[in-house]
Structure 1
Amino acid sequence: MALIDKVPGDLHLYIGGMFTLRRRDALKQANITHVLSVLRMPLDRDLFGPFKHMTVEVDDVDDENLLEHFPETNRFIQEGLDGGGGVLVHW
């Protein structure tokens, strides 16, 4: 079963696996408006229809430089939070 987990704190920031996107009721209840995908694989674009979506194509390896993506991903996340919605980061 896919889970949607809230990051501790006051922000409406959530994390989950790929299949979290199929839990539409849970996403709606969490007021998810933005989805950040962090993976390198073909994605079914129909999963993201109601959301503003961003993909960071990275491999799940030790030497992947995630830090280089932080300025862009942080802006995307902040945009979602500032707009009053929730943000889901999934891998």
Structure 2
Amino acid sequence: MANSPQAKKRARQIERRTAVNKARKSRIRTFLRAVEEAIASGDKAAATAALRAAQPELMRGVTKGIFHKNTASRKVSRLASRVKVLS
């Protein structure tokens, strides 16, 4: 348990950051789920639109420290190749 005032403050700060990061991660997952659903339905136009909306969200997650840059790039790349395959 935190004893010093500094440790107590850090605990409060970590709690707030965790909540913010959790919300951001959840928002990104929602965008990714929209792309997955569009791919599953086979609608290329909807999948393309969903991917275009999801890309900036993923990259914003990188700048905010939620994901590593390579992780986000890999996710975008794999989704883009799956959208491209749709007829």
TM-score, normalised with respect to structure 1? 0.32
- Pick the structure with more strand per residue: 1
Structure (1 or 2) with the larger CA radius of gyration: 2
- Kindly indicate whether structure 1 or structure 2 has the higher relative contact order, using CA contacts under 8 Å at least 6 residues apart: 1
- Pick the structure with more helix per residue: 2
TM-score, normalised with respect to structure 2? 0.33
